[in-house]
Amino acid sequence: MSNALQKFRELLNPQHTEYIGTIQSVNHPHYKVLLVDGSGLVLCTSNTPYNLGARVYFSNQTILRPALMGEHSEIEV
C-alpha cells in the first residue's frame, strides 16, 4: 500500500513543475528553450529530435513532449 500512498503524494506535491516553451536553438540532443512568458532561455535535452520554433513541455531541463499551439492559462493550486 505504501506505493499507492507515495504516488498519491507525488500527485499532490510534484517535485518538478512543467513549463511550456518554444525551441530557439536546435543542436540535438541539446536545445535552448524560451519560456512562454519570455523570462529567459533554458538549456534542455531530449532523446527525440524537435524542429526550431516547436512548442514543448519541459521539466527539470528535460523536454517531455510537444505542446499544443494556442492559448494557455496558469492555475494556482
Query: Residue 46: inside a domain, yes or no?
Result: yes
Q: Is 8 helix (H, G, I), strand (E, B) or coil?
A: helix
- Overall number of domains in the chain: 1
Query: Residue 35: inside a domain, yes or no?
Result: yes
pLDDT surpassing 80 at residue 10: no
Query: Residue 55: inside a domain, yes or no?
Result: yes
CA geometry: angle 41, 21, 14, nearest 5 deg: 100
Query: Other CB atoms closer than 10 Å to residue 35's CB: what's the count?
Result: 14
The CATH number of residue 36's host domain is 2.30.30
Query: Residue 39: inside a domain, yes or no?
Result: yes
Q: What is the pLDDT of residue 7?
A: 81
Q: What is the span of the domain harbouring residue 52?
A: 16-66
Chain mean pLDDT for the chain:
87
Query: Residue 1: inside a domain, yes or no?
Result: no
pLDDT surpassing 80 at residue 73: no
Query: Residue 75: inside a domain, yes or no?
Result: no
Q: 3-state SS of 23-36?
A: EEEEECCEEEEEEC
